[in-house]
């Protein structure tokens, strides 16, 4: 509800002001001003209110429409600004003196409470769509402590002019926790009340203590030795680009010449003349401004300073083209006498530097500098002609928009050779420096260190020079901030309030942030812990090629996209349909939660209520839909109206079906879920960066892309990288080793990939070992990743053939049980730890046949190991035999324990017989173990011995080894126990000592004294692989004896 129909809608550029009685004081009035933004849209308005600081009601910033317009521009999201303050009286001189109060009386009287009904009444109707709105209360803060108007006048071009002395709090100087006081003199124009045209430092006429001085109590005089306006120091610093040239001019007896377009109070001109020794020419079109500059800002005519009253743009054209008489008639309002002084032939009309400080006369769209007329190419060419060969142009820029600044830079680069940009750091001004000719860069200049300061810290995180004084601010890693005087060489002070390490940097223009325009970009955040934090974005930059923006703040960095890049596309059989340009939109109606089946004429054929609340549907085969909700997906049969599959998933963005519709890949932001056509979960793959797209190939391998990689996913969840991308792509189809895709420009592309790695892993997964062996021979499969994969998947014998490093070969040999390779690697390494591990593995393998109990008992009998025989008999539950053995050999403790276990079944011993211990005879000779047949052979053993052999021949080669025709190999694994005797009876007896057969003497080192027969030279040498033995007859006998006893 609005107070009046006038306020029910936003009317661009409308300004209304009125007075109301003060609700807190009956004898005073409040002034209310309502201003609608000229640029903000009216469909979604935002309203803001501001309380005028007490005592500044007559300030042009708050009392004029133009001033309030600038306040509105400083809050770009606000559509309507409402200002409330005390009513000021015209002509009241007491109002020309301002002292900042300690507290605002209106705020103490509950401004936010009593003003809320008024603010709601002044709000547009559209603001109440979602209930009663909350209108933010904006505040205006600056460094002004007190001010007094010392002069006012009216100019012909600029209108009303105001000169005031002010006391401010210095933002850069802090003394004992308080801001240091400074006194300034300012010049402002009423048509641009928020902009300070000229500012200089002033000092008292006498020299009392600054703490006792107050504005209005005594007189002040200008101090012209320093520049206090933020952008003037960078403009003067631009002279360092031509410092060698200027020094040469001075050594030859010539004063450098400067042309200043826009004089204002003359602070820049006076500094160039008195401090740097320049001969300065100033141009300004307002005579009244020049008079005020001479009376109040110390501007004086001298031999080195000349002032021209006239239009600056016309003057620079006349100066550049003075030799062309046909152009003189187009230039008017210039001081021709002064112009002739420049071009009379005695004085060179070329300038070494041109400095421009001109404001736009139209501020309806915001304060901007320079005016658009100056940026035209003919004007810039005129400036270039007015400069000497080594001259430079320095210009103060206040961009109203980012596009204005970019266009300005483009125009300058089209005329001048080089362009330098300086961010002043106040969130408003920039300085552009253009050169007529390229600057020489001497890389052979010897650099000399002037001085060195010890900070007592491990690291200095940032440095910043003071704009005026010889100070350096250093931020240390320990959180301490130190202030150094580089002239005196000592530390002026330290600040230890910071908890963490600090960094210091200059402000940069980062565009417009919500709530601010060209002031430092700030973001306010509130959290559940009750803390309100103020964040500053120190820098924002755009990627030169990609659609990415990066913003850095105090604690982190944010990278984001300004708009969506993924093109809309779909696949139908072998056809690709996609949007070429950005003019198509998709709309989803979720209100009814129904699936509507329509024909191409947009006629509804069938409606089906969906089982869950969904927000998107995908194709899932004939008469099936894949429905997505926030935390799961379901497959819905439209004919039977049943849910045929359900799977809990994160929020799914894309669905990709395999060619045979048997598998589906569900793509979320950081995960890929592989499932069957009935949504039976198979595997889940997680990614740290966004998954962009994917497609299935003919081998049921899912190929997908991330921001900068093409990757694969096997059915068991194994994944890897195929290719690195320069730019993100979106896969449309995978055919063989070719990927068809779309890029950001919606252009169809094809990419050839190397599929060797994932085909190799897929063959291992499907146990297609013939393909594996063929790829091992013919492909370059190497690298630590492949070795680790083979080792992890249980194929160390395959990984062994890819490794040359002996230490890795040793580990793989132990894992695969290949003692021979382990011995060779250990011999090469020759370290104690490796010999120990080899010994442990050799003992673990040994030459013992599993479950050969009778063989173990015979060995214990042969070596007269009584305790071992008792142990073996106990393990096979032959306690009576164990008891007899212990009793006969005098182990009474063991016999007593066994008798307790037997109870009444203790066997009796024969009496009258003297037992004796069976001691085997000592061996005639001592040697190594008798060589054994190799009883283990892996699938991949021996395939690398002859890499040139044909694979087909090896598949059909008989594995007879060196046995040839002398032995008939019997499949013992397939025989029953009762058939062993028949096999032995029917077998042929091998000839004695005729052939060594399959002993493989070339693989084992025998003692030299053993007369070993030579190995057969058969061309078809191979290794015999005996089958796994069944339970031997001796073991069967033991079991039968056990059953009898």
Q: Summarize pLDDT for 35-91 with one digit per residue, the tens.
A: 888 776 666 788 888 888 877 777 777 777 777 777 877 777 788 888 888 876 655
Mean pLDDT value across residues 844-867: 75
Mean pLDDT value across residues 401-418: 85
Please state, in angstroms and rounded to a whole number, the distance separating the CA atoms of residues 915 and 306. 139
Identify the pLDDT of residue 193. 79
Residues 6 or more apart in contact with residue 591 via CB below 8 angstroms: none
Top pLDDT among 764 and 1010 is at: 764
pLDDT, tens digit, 9 for 90 and up, residues 917-966: 666 666 665 555 555 444 455 555 554 444 444 444 444 343 343 443 33
| Residues facing residue 174 across a β-bridge | 179
Residue 704 reports pLDDT greater than 90: yes
819-829 vs 832-845: helix crossing angle, rounded to 10: 170
Please state, in angstroms and rounded to a whole number, the distance separating the CA atoms of residues 941 and 937. 6
pLDDT, tens digit, 9 for 90 and up, residues 560-574: 676 666 667 676 666
Structure confidence at residue 674 as a pLDDT band (50, 70, 90): very high
**pTM of the model as a whole:** 0.43
The average confidence (pLDDT) of the chain is 73
| Phi, psi values for residue 535, rounded to 5° | -105, 140
Residue 260 reports pLDDT greater than 90: yes
Residue 913 reports pLDDT greater than 50: yes
10 Å Cβ neighbour count for 219?
A: 10
The DSSP 8-state label assigned to residue 369 in this structure reads B
Mean pLDDT value across residues 723-743: 88
Residue 298 reports pLDDT greater than 70: yes
The answer to whether 258 touches 304, Cβ cutoff 8 Å, is no
Encoded tokens for 903: 């109870």
Structure confidence at residue 972 as a pLDDT band (50, 70, 90): very low
Identify the pLDDT of residue 291. 92
Identify the pLDDT of residue 937. 52
**Lowest-confidence region among 257-266, 380-389, 593-602, 763-772:** 593-602
pLDDT, tens digit, 9 for 90 and up, residues 420-429: 888 887 778 8
Residue 541 reports pLDDT greater than 50: yes
Residue 1006 reports pLDDT greater than 50: no
CA dihedral 572, 574, 579, 580 (to 10 degrees): -170
Residue 362 reports pLDDT greater than 80: no
pLDDT, tens digit, 9 for 90 and up, residues 434-491: 998 886 655 554 455 566 777 766 677 677 777 667 778 787 767 677 888 776 667 7
Identify the pLDDT of residue 433. 92
10 Å Cβ neighbour count for 932?
A: 10
CA dihedral 867, 869, 871, 876 (to 10 degrees): -170
The DSSP code sequence of 258-320 is: EEEE--TT-HHHHHHHHTT--EEEEEES-HHHHHHHHHHS----BTTEEEEES-HHHHHHHHH
10 Å Cβ neighbour count for 301?
A: 9
Q: Provide the percentage of residues in the chain whose pLDDT is more than 70.
A: 66
Identify the pLDDT of residue 583. 44
Identify the pLDDT of residue 666. 92
pLDDT, tens digit, 9 for 90 and up, residues 146-162: 888 899 999 888 888 99
Residue 208 reports pLDDT greater than 60: no
Identify the pLDDT of residue 514. 34
| Residues facing residue 698 across a β-bridge | none
Identify the pLDDT of residue 1032. 61
Residue 987 reports pLDDT greater than 80: no
Residue tagged 């902009």 (tokens) = 195
Please state, in angstroms and rounded to a whole number, the distance separating the CA atoms of residues 779 and 798. 14
| Residues facing residue 578 across a β-bridge | 569
Top pLDDT among 20 and 956 is at: 20
**Lowest-confidence region among 730-744, 757-771, 856-870, 1000-1014:** 1000-1014
Please state, in angstroms and rounded to a whole number, the distance separating the CA atoms of residues 270 and 849. 107
Residue 744 reports pLDDT greater than 90: no
Please state, in angstroms and rounded to a whole number, the distance separating the CA atoms of residues 645 and 732. 26
Identify the pLDDT of residue 581. 53
Top pLDDT among 847 and 1005 is at: 847
Query: Under the phi-then-psi rule, with left for phi > 0, alpha for psi from -120 to 50, and beta for the rest, what region is 749?
Result: beta
The DSSP code sequence of 627-674 is: EE-SSEEEEEETTTTEEEEEEE-S-EEEEEE-TTSSEEEEEESSEEEE
Residue 353 reports pLDDT greater than 90: yes
**Lowest-confidence region among 380-394, 541-555, 866-880, 958-972:** 958-972
Q: What is the largest CA-CA distance in the chain?
A: 156
Identify the pLDDT of residue 565. 66
Identify the pLDDT of residue 533. 58
Top pLDDT among 976 and 200 is at: 200
Identify the pLDDT of residue 171. 58
Q: Which of 487, 483, 481 is nearest to 503 (CA)?
A: 481
pLDDT, tens digit, 9 for 90 and up, residues 494-537: 766 444 444 433 333 333 333 333 445 555 555 445 555 555 65
Q: Output the CA–CA distances (angstroms, integers) from residue 125 to 5, 18, 179, 201, 911, in the order listed.
A: 9, 21, 46, 50, 123
- Which range has the top average pLDDT, 120-129, 278-287, 366-375? 278-287
Identify the pLDDT of residue 920. 67
Top pLDDT among 1015 and 103 is at: 103
Q: Which of 174, 194, 179, 173 is nearest to 145 (CA)?
A: 179
Please state, in angstroms and rounded to a whole number, the distance separating the CA atoms of residues 242 and 724. 47
Identify the pLDDT of residue 321. 66
879-888 vs 866-875: helix crossing angle, rounded to 10: 160
| Residues facing residue 36 across a β-bridge | 80
Top pLDDT among 945 and 195 is at: 195
Please state, in angstroms and rounded to a whole number, the distance separating the CA atoms of residues 711 and 199. 63
10 Å Cβ neighbour count for 954?
A: 14
Alpha helix (H) ranges present in 496-583? none
**Lowest-confidence region among 314-318, 391-395, 657-661, 849-853:** 849-853
The answer to whether 281 touches 213, Cβ cutoff 8 Å, is no
Helix, strand, coil tally for the chain in percent (to 5): 25, 30, 45
Identify the pLDDT of residue 112. 73
Residue 355 reports pLDDT greater than 90: yes
The answer to whether 637 touches 644, Cβ cutoff 8 Å, is yes
The answer to whether 838 touches 826, Cβ cutoff 8 Å, is yes
């Amino acid at each position: 509800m609005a107070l009046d129909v006038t306020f029910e809608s936003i009317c661009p550029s409308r300004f209304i002001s009125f007075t109301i009685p003060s609700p807190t004081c009956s004898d005073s009035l409040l002034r209310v001003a309502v201003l609608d933004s000229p640029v903000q849209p009216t469909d979604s308005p935002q309203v803001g209110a501001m309380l005028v600081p007490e005592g500044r009601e007559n300030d042009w910033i708050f009392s004029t429409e133009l001033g309030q317009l600038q306040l509105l521009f400083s809050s770009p999201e606000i559509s309507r600004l409402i200002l409330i303050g005390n009513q000021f009286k015209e002509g009241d001189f007491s109002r020309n003196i301002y002292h900042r109060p300690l507290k605002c009386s209106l705020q103490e009287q509950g401004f936010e409470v009593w003003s809320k009904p008024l603010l709601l009444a002044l709000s547009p109707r559209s603001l109440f769509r979602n209930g009663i709105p909350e209108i933010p209360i904006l505040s205006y803060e600056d460094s002004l402590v007190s001010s007094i108007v010392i002069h006012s006048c009216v100019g012909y071009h600029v209108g009303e002019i105001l000169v005031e002395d002010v006391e401010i709090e210095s933002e850069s100087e802090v003394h004992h926790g308080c801001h240091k006081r400074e006194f300034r003199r300012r010049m402002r124009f009423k048509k641009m009340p928020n902009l300070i045209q000229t500012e200089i430092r002033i000092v008292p006429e006498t020299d009392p203590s600054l703490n006792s001085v107050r504005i209005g109590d005594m007189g002040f005089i200008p101090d012209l030795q320093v520049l206090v306006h933020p952008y003037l120091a960078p403009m003067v610093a631009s002279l360092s680009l031509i410092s060698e040239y200027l020094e040469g001019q001075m050594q030859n007896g010539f004063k450098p010449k400067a042309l200043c377009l826009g004089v204002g109070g003359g602070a820049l001109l006076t500094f160039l003349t008195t401090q740097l020794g320049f001969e300065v020419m100033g141009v300004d079109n307002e005579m009244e401004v020049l008079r005020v500059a001479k009376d109040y800002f110390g501007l004086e005519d001298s031999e080195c300073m000349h002032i021209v009253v006239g239009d600056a743009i016309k003057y620079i054209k006349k100066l550049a083209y003075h030799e062309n008489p046909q152009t003189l008639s187009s230039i008017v309002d210039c001081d021709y006498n002064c112009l002739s002084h420049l071009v009379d032939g005695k004085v060179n009309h070329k300038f070494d530097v041109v400095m421009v400080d001109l404001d736009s006369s139209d501020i309806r769209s915001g304060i901007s500098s320079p005016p658009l007329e100056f940026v035209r190419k003919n004007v810039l060419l005129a400036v270039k002609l007015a400069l000497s060969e080594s001259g430079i142009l320095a210009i103060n820029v206040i961009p109203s928009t980012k596009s204005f600044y970019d266009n300005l830079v483009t125009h300058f680069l089209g005329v001048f050779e080089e362009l330098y940009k300086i961010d002043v750091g106040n969130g408003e001004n920039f300085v552009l420096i253009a050169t007529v000719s390229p600057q020489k860069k001497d890389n052979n200049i010897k650099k000399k260190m002037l001085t060195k300061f010890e900070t007592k810290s491990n690291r200095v995180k940032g440095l910043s020079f003071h704009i005026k004084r010889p100070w350096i601010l250093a931020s240390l890693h320990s959180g301490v901030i130190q202030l150094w005087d580089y002239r005196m060489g000592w530390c002026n002070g330290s600040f230890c309030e910071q908890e963490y390490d600090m960094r210091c940097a200059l402000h940069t223009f980062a565009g417009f942030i919500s709530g601010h325009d060209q002031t430092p970009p700030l973001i306010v955040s509130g959290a559940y812990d009750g803390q309100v934090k103020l964040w500053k974005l120190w820098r924002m930059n755009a990627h030169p090629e990609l659609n990415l923006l990066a913003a850095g703040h105090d604690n982190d960095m944010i990278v984001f996209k300004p708009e969506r890049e993924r093109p809309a596309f779909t696949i139908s059989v072998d056809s690709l349909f996609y949007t070429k340009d950005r003019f198509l939109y998709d709309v989803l109606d979720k209100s009814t939660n129904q699936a509507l089946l329509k024909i191409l004429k947009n006629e509804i054929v069938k409606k089906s209520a969906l089982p869950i609340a969904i927000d998107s549907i995908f194709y899932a085969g004939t008469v099936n839909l894949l429905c997505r909700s926030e935390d799961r997906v379901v497959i819905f049969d439209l004919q039977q109206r049943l849910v045929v599959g359900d799977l809990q998933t994160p929020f799914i963005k894309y669905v990709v079906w395999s060619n045979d519709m048997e598998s589906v890949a569900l793509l979320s932001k950081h995960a890929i879920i592989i499932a069957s056509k009935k949504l039976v979960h198979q595997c889940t793959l997680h990614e740290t960066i966004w998954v962009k797209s994917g497609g299935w190939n003919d081998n049921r391998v899912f190929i997908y892309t991330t921001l900068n990689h093409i990757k694969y996913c096997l059915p068991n969840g194994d994944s890897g990288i195929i290719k690195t991308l320069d730019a993100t792509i979106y896969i449309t189809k995978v055919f063989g080793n070719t990927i068809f895709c779309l890029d950001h420009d919606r252009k169809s592309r094809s990419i050839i990939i190397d599929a060797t790695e994932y085909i190799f892993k897929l063959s291992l997964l499907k146990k297609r070992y013939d393909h594996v062996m063929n790829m091992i021979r013919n492909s370059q499969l190497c690298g630590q990743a492949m070795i680790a994969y083979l080792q992890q998947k249980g194929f160390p014998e395959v990984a062994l053939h890819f490794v040359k490093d002996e230490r890795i070969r040793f580990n793989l040999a132990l894992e695969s049980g290949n003692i021979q390779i382990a011995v060779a690697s250990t011999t090469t390494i020759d370290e104690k730890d490796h010999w120990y591990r080899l010994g442990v593995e050799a003992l673990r393998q040994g030459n013992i046949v599993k479950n050969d109990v009778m063989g173990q008992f015979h060995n214990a009998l042969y070596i007269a190991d009584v305790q071992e025989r008792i142990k073996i008999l106990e393990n096979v539950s032959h306690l009576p035999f164990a008891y007899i053995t212990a009793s006969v050999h005098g182990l009474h403790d063991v016999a007593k324990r066994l008798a307790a276990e037997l109870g009444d079944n203790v066997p009796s011993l024969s009496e009258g017989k003297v037992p004796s211990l069976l001691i085997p005879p000592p061996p005639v000779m001592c040697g190594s173990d008798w060589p054994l047949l190799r009883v283990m052979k892996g699938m991949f053993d021996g395939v690398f011995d002859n890499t040139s052999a044909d694979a087909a021949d090896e598949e059909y080669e008989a594995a007879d080894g060196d046995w040839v025709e002398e032995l008939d190999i019997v499949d013992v694994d397939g025989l029953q126990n009762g058939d062993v005797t028949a096999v032995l009876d029917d077998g042929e007896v091998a000839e004695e000592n005729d052939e060594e057969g399959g002993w493989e003497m070339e693989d084992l080192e025998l003692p030299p004294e053993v007369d070993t027969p030579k190995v057969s030279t058969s061309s078809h040498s191979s290794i015999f692989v005996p089958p796994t033995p069944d339970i031997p007859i001796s073991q069967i006998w033991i079991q039968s004896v056990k059953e009898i006893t």
